[in-house]
Amino acid sequence: MLPLNVACESTVAEDIDAGTAAAIPGIVEMLTKPLTAEEKSPKQAVAASSKITFRGNYDQVNRYFYRNGWTDGLPIVPPTEKAVAEMMTGTDLPASQVVSKVIPRLGKATVEKIAINAVMAGALPTHMPVLIATVQALADPKTRFDTFEVSTGSWAPFIAVNGPIRQDIHLNYSSGAFSPGDIANAAIGRAVGLIVKNIGGARKGVEDMGVIGNPAKYSLVLGESEEESPWEPLHVERGFKPEDNTVTMFFPNGYTQSVPRETSAQGIAQSLVDMGPWNMSCLIVIPSHARILSKEGWTKKKLKEFILKNARSPFPARQGNLDVLSQPPPAVDTDGLMIVVAGGPGAWMGMLRSVGGIENAFVTKKIELPRNWDKLVAKYKDVVPVYKKY
C-alpha cells in the first residue's frame, strides 16, 4: 500500500519533498513486483441476465438503492419497467443505442440507461431529448469533463437550454430559475448527476475527489430568456438557427450574485467587472439590465471585451511572500466568457465561474425531438405548479 502522507496541491517545498520521498518506494515496489496469478489471468465477472434488480415497496426500494450507492442522497422514483418504458417515449432512438461513454469507468450510456436514471430523478419523458443531448455534450473533450468529474475542485455541470423546447417543457428562465420548484430545471439537473454517478461510476471520495463538494451538483439548469433579450440568443451566437433547440454546457465550481453600483449601462458593466476575477465564466444578465445596456449601444461582444479588458487576472502575481492582484490581462479572449439573459424583475446579476485555469470550453449540442413530440407535449402540458392565492 502507498503511504497516505503525500502532499496534495501543496506549495510548501519541505512538504512536497517529504511526501514524494515517502511515496517513491511504494511506487517502485508496485511497478516492479511480479504479477499474481489472478492479475495475469483476471476472471471476467458475468452479470445476471435479469433486468430485475430488486422487488419491494417504495421504502424498501429506496433503502436498497441508497445502500448500494445508486442515489444522490434523496429519495428516488423506483425505475419500474412500466416507468422506464414511458420515459422511452421521449425519444425515437433504440434502447440499446450507446449515446456516449461516461467517465471515470467509461460506462456505456445507452438510451435505456439514461431513461432509468431519468425516472429515478423524477423527470418526464419530455425531458429525454435534453438529457440525450447533455450526455452527448459530456462526451465532448472540450468540456474537460474527464478532469472535472474526478477533481478535488468540485465542478458541477451547468446546462443552458435555448429554443422553443423551453416553453414545451416549462423550463424556468425567470424568477428563481436556479431555485427549487420547477420540475424541468430540477429533474434534468438531478438526472445528469445520477447518470454521472451510476453510469460513469463517480463515487464520492473514490473517483469524485471534491474536497468540500458543491451543492450545484444537485441541479444547475436554466433556459435563456430569448423573448425578453435585446440580443441574439446564445445558441444563435454559437452558430445555430433560432428555431433550433440546444443545450450549452460548461463546468463551473463557483457561483456568486451581486447588484450593480448604478443602473446605467456603464455602471452595470463595471459592476460585472467587479464580480471577477475572470477566466472561464458565464454571466447571468437579467433582461432589464440587458435592455439598458443595449439601449446605450452595448452588444454582447462589446460587454465581453469591456469586462475582459478591465478585469483582474484569475491568478495572483507573486511578490515576495505576498500574493497581490495582478494587472488586467493584456489580451482579450471573449471565447472564455458566455452571457445568458435570464432571471426575473430586480437588480441582481449572477456569475458562474470555473476556477483553476484548466483548458476547457463551452460546448453546444442540438436537441433532437422525437416524431411524437407534439402529442408528448400535450400529454404533459399540465404538469406545472399552480399556486393558491393567499
Cα separations in angstroms, 118 against 123, 139, 187, 283: 5, 18, 8, 28
Q: Which helix (H) or strand (E) holds 146?
A: helix 145-148
* Alpha-carbon span 229 to 369, nearest angstrom: 25
Entry field: residues in the chain: 390
Q: What's 366's DSSP letter? A: E
Q: What's 369's DSSP letter? A: P
Grid cell listed for 297: 449601444
Contact 193, 218 (CB under 8 A): yes
Note whether 94 and 192 are same-domain residues: yes
Contact 286, 192 (CB under 8 A): no
The whole domain housing 347 covers 254-316+326-354
Task: Provide the residue-wise pLDDT of the chain in tens; the chain has 390 residues.
Answer: 444 555 567 788 888 888 888 888 989 999 999 999 888 888 877 666 678 889 999 999 999 999 999 999 999 999 999 999 999 999 999 999 999 999 999 999 999 999 999 999 999 999 999 999 999 999 999 999 999 999 999 999 999 999 999 999 999 999 999 999 999 999 999 999 999 999 999 999 999 999 999 999 999 999 999 999 999 999 999 999 999 999 999 999 999 999 998 999 999 999 999 987 667 899 999 999 999 999 999 999 999 999 988 887 655 555 554 444 444 444 446 788 999 999 999 999 999 998 876 778 999 999 999 999 999 999 999 999 998 888
Note whether 220 and 342 are same-domain residues: no
Note whether 122 and 225 are same-domain residues: yes
Does residue 389 fall inside a structural domain?
no
Contact 350, 284 (CB under 8 A): yes
Q: Is 55 helix (H, G, I), strand (E, B) or coil?
A: coil
- Helix, strand, coil tally for the chain in percent (to 5): 35, 15, 50
Does residue 239 fall inside a structural domain?
no
Note whether 196 and 99 are same-domain residues: yes
Q: What's 208's DSSP letter? A: B
Note whether 285 and 345 are same-domain residues: yes
28 Cβ contact list (under 8 Å, min separation 6): none
* Alpha-carbon span 102 to 82, nearest angstrom: 26
Note whether 162 and 78 are same-domain residues: yes
Question: In the chain, how many domains are there?
Answer: 3
CATH number at residue 277: 3.30.2320
